[in-house]
Amino acid sequence: MEKVIKITLLYDFYGQLLTERQQRFIELYYGHDFSLGEIAEEYNVTRQAVHDTLKRAEKILTGYEEKLGLLDKFMAERRKISEALELLRGFRQDPNPGLLDRIEEILTEITKLVEK
């Protein structure tokens, strides 16, 4: 997964656990495509301070994901939903009961993931 997308998704899940400054820097850098220099100028700090804050925030977000795994769980659910959707579309072409069985299995797996 591309770093920008991964950090953005991690921020969606865990961003509220960062300091306000870390949140703002992540939003500006990853969400609004500001450069380190632009953020530094806006906050009257050095580019190095912005860089260090971003790296610290990224490490914190990654640490939460390692402990909680919410992004991995979300991505697994999306893959399963996509698979079920493809099988359902295939069922329209060929109403094979085996496809319905597999769709039911996938939906059961998703339900178990959500319950955890």
Tell me the CATH architecture of domain 3-68: Orthogonal Bundle (1.10)
What is the predicted pLDDT for the residue at 63? 97
pTM across the whole model:
0.77
pLDDT in tens, the chain (116 residues): 699 999 999 999 999 999 999 999 999 999 999 999 999 999 999 999 999 999 999 999 999 999 999 999 899 889 988 998 898 888 888 888 888 888 888 888 888 766 66
- Could you tell me which of 7, 31, 11 has the C-alpha nearest to residue 19? 11
For residue 114, the model assigns a pLDDT of 66
Q: What is the structure's pLDDT at 92? A: 83
Domain assignments of the chain as residue spans, ordered by start: 3-68, 72-115
String of b and e for 92-109 (b: at least 16 CB within 10 Å)? eeeeeeebeebbeebeee
Taken in order 4, 7, 8, 9, the sign of the CA dihedral is positive
Instruction: Please count the other Cβ atoms lying within 10 Å of the Cβ belonging to residue 81.
Output: 13
Give residue 90's pLDDT: 85
pLDDT of residue 100: 84
